[in-house]
Amino acid sequence: MSVDPLSDALAVADARCVFSGGFTAGGHWAVRLRGRYKLKVNAVVRGHCLLVREEGGEPVRVEAGDVVVSDGRRSYVLCSAPDVTPLDSKEVAVDPGERMAHLGDGEGFLCVSGHIDLSRDSGELLRRALPEMIHVRAASVEAPVLGWLIGQLVGEMTAGRAGSGFASDQIAQLLFLQVLRVCLVDPQTLPAGSLRALADERLAPALRLMHGDPSRPWQLEELPGPPPCPGPPSPCASRRRPACRP
């Protein structure tokens, strides 16, 4: 049994990230994207845009190097300005060879896209463990890795070399994994569930231990305790007691 619950969760859910293409844009433009109950990934390579959610709220600026993952339940709009009437993604002509589309006037903006297929039986468990939308900014600690993966993805898309379709799919899957790792750094971005527990430094060691040997009747004293509380010794320092609460 693996002691890596995240890898096992992705395997059980049969999570497969598939690169679907991208688009360039310039001037006044807007496109409505629909996940259709698949996790949708958008990575901005060049320029910037606004993201407008279907349920309303303030538009969010998305810049080069940013990655956005949607849970696919609701559509959202990427646009140059919120007052531009969006085209539905079905209405946008795509070059079948390059799998690229063009919107507006110019090519100052470039975005590559993909979706994550989940198994029919277990995919809902992974979906519920994720927030409705994840926005990983270029300034995050994972930005260098994400930027490299995005660059490789664009290179495979434009070079047209043998095996580029297969390579693109594998790179896109690594891109999704890095996004999940960003979420694990900040557990407050995750709904209650197993992924949030993995992100909690007080619970993760015990969770990994139990996951590695699920048939064992674990006792509380056998599990790793929380990290020591700051400041002078207190009763919460006992390994058999829960972590201190602020």
Q: What is the pLDDT of residues 49-77, one digit of tens each?
A: 999 998 888 999 999 999 898 887 888 99
Band (pLDDT 50/70/90 cuts) for residue 1 is very low
Surface-to-core class of residue 204, CB atoms within 10 Å of its CB (0-12 exposed, 13-18 middle, 19+ buried): middle
Q: Can you tell me the mean pLDDT for 76-82?
A: 95
CB atoms within 10 A of CB 99: 17
In eight-state DSSP terms, residue 49 is E
pLDDT at residue 179 above 70? yes
Single-letter code of the amino acid located at 85: T
Torsion, Cα of 154, 26, 73, 52 (10° steps): 130
Separation of first and last alpha carbons in the chain = 36
161 falls in which pLDDT band (50, 70, 90)? confident
The HSE-up count of residue 225 (CA atoms within 13 Å, CB side) is 13
Quickly state the pLDDT bin for 199 (edges 50, 70, 90): very low
- According to the model, what pLDDT value does residue 164 have? 84
Q: What average pLDDT does the chain have?
A: 75
What residues have CB less than 8 Å from 215, skipping those under 6 apart? none
CA-nearest of 34, 76, 33 to 51 is: 76
Instruction: Please give the pLDDT value at position 246.
Output: 40
pLDDT at 226: 54
- Higher per-residue pLDDT: 199 or 37: 37
What is the model's pLDDT at position 82?
A: 93
**219 pLDDT above the threshold of 70:** no
Q: What is the mean pLDDT of residues 204-227?
A: 55
Structural contact between residues 21 and 100, judged by C-beta atoms closer than 8 angstroms: yes
Specify whether the CB–CB gap between 210 and 49 falls below 8 A: no
Enclosing H/E stretch for 31: strand 30-33
pLDDT digits (tens, 9 = 90+) for 117-137: 766 555 666 666 677 888 889
3-state secondary structure of 93: coil
Name which residue leads in pLDDT, 238 or 5: 5
Lowest mean pLDDT among 80-84, 90-94, 239-243: 239-243
> What Rg, from alpha-carbon coordinates, does the chain have?
21
Please give the pLDDT value at position 220.
59
Stretch among 163-167, 188-192, 233-237 having the lowest mean pLDDT: 233-237
Out of 9-18, 140-149, 235-244, the most confident range is: 140-149
The mean-pLDDT minimum among 76-90, 114-128, 224-238 falls in: 224-238
For 104, 199, 236, 243, the CA distances from 246, given in Å and listed in that order, are: 52, 18, 12, 10
Q: Report the pLDDT value the prediction gives residue 51, as an integer from 0 to 100.
A: 97
Taking phi first (over 0 means left), then psi (-120 to 50 degrees means alpha), and beta for anything else, what does residue 177 get?
Answer: alpha
SS3 track for 159-191: HCCCCHHHHHHHHHHHHHHHHHHHHHHCHHHCC
